[in-house]
């Protein structure tokens, strides 16, 4: 708290000194970036001063400086390809120039992830579950953490049941759903089980089970 107060007083003193000399203090509108591994990030200040930030960048500075007392509002206009970025400390992306000695906006980016799931058809034909075999079948999505899911027979007698893997898939990564454990006396096949994850959840995987 004390350090922030001292910085604010220093900035105010600088502004007053320059004002007395007929000038006005100006400040870089800048910040830090962590985790930016893809291109496509566009930042904007006050809705009109845009900059493109390349992959691998760890900092940014807008071309137009802010005069003492001017408001700034840094926003993420466009996320990078297959990624989502946000402010690691809320509140530092906007304010009034001169409130602190420097304007530093911290941004962190991470690979976007989405749900993968679908529907199992033919569940009414699955043998009644027991304590020894509580699930009808097990499906897997490769070696993805959380990519193994055991599916039980619906208790309401429904023939179809929806499923979603607990492990999400990163945007841009491939997925491949297969049946790891077949139900007793049944064969289940997968359609729409492979692809590349993009921008939205995938929920059209279909597992069809029929009696042998």
Tell me which residue of 192, 178, 166, 115 sits closest to 141, measured CA to CA. Answer: 178
Contact residues for 22 (Cβ-Cβ < 8 A; gap 6+): none
- With beta carbons less than 8 A apart as the criterion, state whether 143 and 169 touch: no
Q: Which domains does the chain have, with CATH numbers?
A: 2-111 (2.60.40), 113-211 (2.60.40)
Q: How far apart are CA 137 and CA 99, in angstroms?
A: 61
Asked if 102 contacts 77 with a C-beta cutoff of 8 angstroms, the reply is no
Whole-model pTM over 0.85: no
3-state secondary structure of 43: strand
Tens of pLDDT along the chain (212 residues) come to: 443 444 444 444 444 434 434 467 999 999 999 999 999 999 999 999 999 999 999 999 999 999 999 999 999 999 998 899 999 998 999 999 998 889 999 999 999 999 999 999 999 888 876 666 678 999 999 877 789 999 998 888 889 999 999 999 998 889 999 999 998 889 999 999 999 998 899 999 999 999 98
């Amino acid at each position: 708290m004390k350090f922030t107060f001292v910085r604010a007083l220093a900035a105010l003193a600088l502004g007053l000194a320059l004002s007395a000399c007929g000038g006005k203090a100006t400040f870089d509108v800048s910040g830090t970036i962590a985790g930016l591994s893809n291109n496509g990030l566009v930042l904007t200040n006050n809705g009109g001063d845009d900059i493109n930030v390349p992959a691998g960048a760890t900092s940014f500075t807008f071309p137009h400086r802010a005069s003492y007392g001017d408001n700034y509002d840094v926003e993420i206009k466009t996320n990078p390809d297959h990624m989502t970025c946000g402010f690691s400390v809320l509140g530092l992306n906007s304010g009034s120039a001169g409130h602190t000695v420097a304007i530093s906006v911290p941004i962190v980016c991470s690979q976007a992830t989405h749900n993968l799931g679908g529907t199992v058809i033919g569940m009414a034909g699955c043998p009644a579950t027991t304590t020894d075999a509580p699930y009808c079948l097990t499906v897997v999505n490769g070696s993805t953490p959380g990519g193994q899911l055991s599916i039980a027979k619906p208790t309401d007698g429904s023939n179809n049941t929806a499923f979603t893997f607990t492990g999400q898939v990163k945007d841009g990564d491939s997925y491949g759903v297969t049946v790891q454990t077949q139900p007793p006396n049944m064969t289940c096949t997968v359609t729409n089980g492979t692809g590349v994850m993009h921008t939205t959840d995938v929920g059209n995987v279909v597992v069809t089970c029929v009696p042998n």
